Amino acid sequence: MKTILIVDDSTTMRRMIRSTLQVLDNISFKEASNGLEAIEYLTISSIDLMTLDLNMPDIQGLDVLKFINSHQSLNKTPIIVISARSDAQTRDEVMAAGATHFMNKPFEPKQLMAQVVRLLDTQPDA
């Protein structure tokens, strides 16, 4: 079983991401509503992929990325940033900080599914 950590301060957005991905085989989900919760979860559990919002209370998504990138045990984790910020500078900064893929909000469910399938090498249930 593979684990996806969904990090977003919006309950609705976490539900949308989970709903999009729950058709995948052998996947469990964990959720964090802010950057601090995400870092806490990462330090005590292992995950196979993370979706990450940038604009959150306490610790911003970019700081979570920098934390992950600075720890050898975490920096191989695929991270899909899903953010309302879509300017080129933000995109470049996020990718330089260690994100695997960047998507704009509102995201396209098929695009998110395709990226997760590619990164986890899994398929939706038949």
* CB-based contacts of 4, cutoff 8 Å, min separation 6: 21, 27, 28, 29, 30, 47, 48, 49, 50, 51, 116, 120
When pLDDT is averaged across residues 54-82 and rounded to a whole number, the result is 93
Q: Give the containing element (helix H, strand E) for 49.
A: strand 49-52
Residues 49-65 pLDDT 10s: 999 999 998 899 999 99
Query: Residue 73: its pLDDT value, please?
Result: 86
For 33, list phi and psi in degrees, rounded to 5: -95, 0
The band of 124, judged by pLDDT with boundaries at 50, 70 and 90, is: low
CATH classification number, 2-120, choose in 3.40.50.2300, 3.60.21.10, 3.20.20.100, 3.40.309.10:
3.40.50.2300
Looking at residue 125, its pLDDT comes to: 58
Give residue-wise pLDDT tens across range 98-110. Answer: 999 999 999 999 9
